[in-house]
Amino acid sequence: MSVTETNWRCFSVKNATSIFSPLKLLLWLTIAVLALVVLLLSYIMTKAYKQYLMSTQLNKRLASISNIYVGMYEVDIINDRFETIKHSSTFISRHQNEKRASVIMESVVREVADKSSLADVIRFITVKTLGERLRNTDTTSTEFYTVTHKWIRLRFIVSYREPDGTPSRLLLLAKDITREKTERDALLNVSERAIAANEAKSQFLSNMSHEIRTPINTVLGMNEMILRESQDNYILTYSENIKAAGSALLGLINNILDYSKLESGKIEITPVEYELSALVNEMSNMIGPLLKSKGLALSTSVDETAPKVLYGDENRLKQVIANLLTNAVKYTERGSVTFSIGFQEIENAPNHVMLCVAVKDSGIGIKPEDIEKLFQKFERLDEKRNRNIEGTGLGLPIAQNLLCMMGSSLKVESVYGLGSKFYFRLRQRVIKW
């Protein structure tokens, strides 16, 4: 406002926008600050709430853990300090004014531990050696018997390590394992008794098999003399029956003896040089009489390019094949049995081959759900259907165990009602092609 020469007062009018612009800016700044404060408070409250939830969950977990242990302590092995987190023993209360970990732990152990355990527990809780013992592991534990006739497990857990990896703070947990120890010892006693009973059974079977096998061999030997020298057809017929029955009984006894040896680990693999053609001929001759008695044919197939002389356990190999051939004939009423041997060369092993052996029959076959039971001892499948077939259910388990000892395994393919095929691949060293 100004005064003119004519004494009129003049007013200057400013644009309202120029007046309110600073106020508007201040208002927006205030709103922005308030919004920022609200966001910051919201973030802080959310974080605090999450920490509260985590703390609550942690406390619950610690509470549940503390219910498991009769004592929880923190041990600073660098500064030799001891802090109680939880304890339920009057022994610790007596030493509550003592803060040196080495002193309080040894004092309590000497009061609690039974004399039989004392020396070992003292070594376990020695602070000077704990750092070295826990350098490459996060926990260590021991169990000891107490003067109150309880079992306690002490466990150190590393809760903090120095930058160089040296453990400095440990959590010491004490747990009453009296019930656990009692139950565990009871299970061990049961297990030991079962092992002892099994060993006694195996020894009994072994002794009985030897005792029975000797007179049977004598009877069969005398029977062979009758077969060679007698001219009477009636006597020869009886003698053939004796031979068949005696051989079957001897085979059963041999199976029982072999299985008891397998269970006790007394069977060893003894490799020797053997001729493949001789093995095939012997197996064919062995199964011949049984095939003839049932009117079955044997088809033998041997790869002509197979090695002539191999190095392996010939006797155990023949035992496996004999079991497979015998089983095939037993469970085949009409048709034939096929015995085949081939080989596969092994890459980077020119002096070794995989011997491929298969026995196939046109017998009754095996149900899919029964295949897994084949190698269980004393297991006879489809008992109602096969009740007239002799056997102990040990042949295939013995064959499988022997093959496992030689680094192989027995495989089976079968169609119920049409027949089965048993086969395996066995690594053998080549002596002569």
Q: Where are the domains of the chain?
A: 27-68, 69-176, 183-263, 269-381+391-432
Nearest to 314 by CA among 209, 395, 431, 202: 431
Specify the DSSP element, H or E, that contains 267.
none
Residue 355's closest CA among 340, 365, 366? Answer: 340
pLDDT of residue 275: 93
Domain 69-176, CATH homologous superfamily name and number = PAS domain (3.30.450.20)
pLDDT of residue 188: 82
CB 380 within 8 A of CB 240: no
Separation between Cα atoms, residue 42 and residue 358, nearest integer Å: 77
Per-residue pLDDT tens over the stretch 70-122 = 788 889 999 999 888 877 655 566 666 777 888 888 888 898 899 988 999 99
CATH 1.10.1740.10 given to domain 183-263:
no
pLDDT value at position 194? 77
User: What confidence score (pLDDT) does residue 61 get?
Assistant: 62
Question: Do 179 and 159 form a contact (C-beta atoms < 8 A)?
Answer: no
Angle, in degrees to the nearest 10, between helices 395-405 and 233-264: 50
Q: What is the chain's mean pLDDT, rounded?
A: 82
Q: What tens digit of pLDDT does each residue of 233-251 get?
A: 888 888 888 877 777 777 7
Q: Is the pLDDT of residue 426 over 90?
A: yes
**Residue 215: which pLDDT band, with cuts at 50, 70 and 90?**
confident
Secondary structure E strands in 313-377: 336-346, 349-361
The answer to whether 317 and 352 have CB atoms below 8 angstroms apart is: no
Closest among 266, 264, 255 to 212, alpha carbons compared: 255
Q: What's domain 269-381+391-432's superfamily in CATH?
A: Histidine kinase-like ATPase, C-terminal domain (3.30.565.10)
Q: What is the mean pLDDT of residues 365-389?
A: 68
User: Does 69-176 match 269-381+391-432 in CATH topology?
Assistant: no
Q: Say if residue 259's pLDDT is above 60.
A: yes
- Max Cα distance, the chain (Å): 177
Q: What's the pLDDT band for 382 if we cut at 50, 70, 90?
A: low
DSSP reduced 3-state for 311: strand
On the question of pLDDT at 8 being above 80, the answer is no
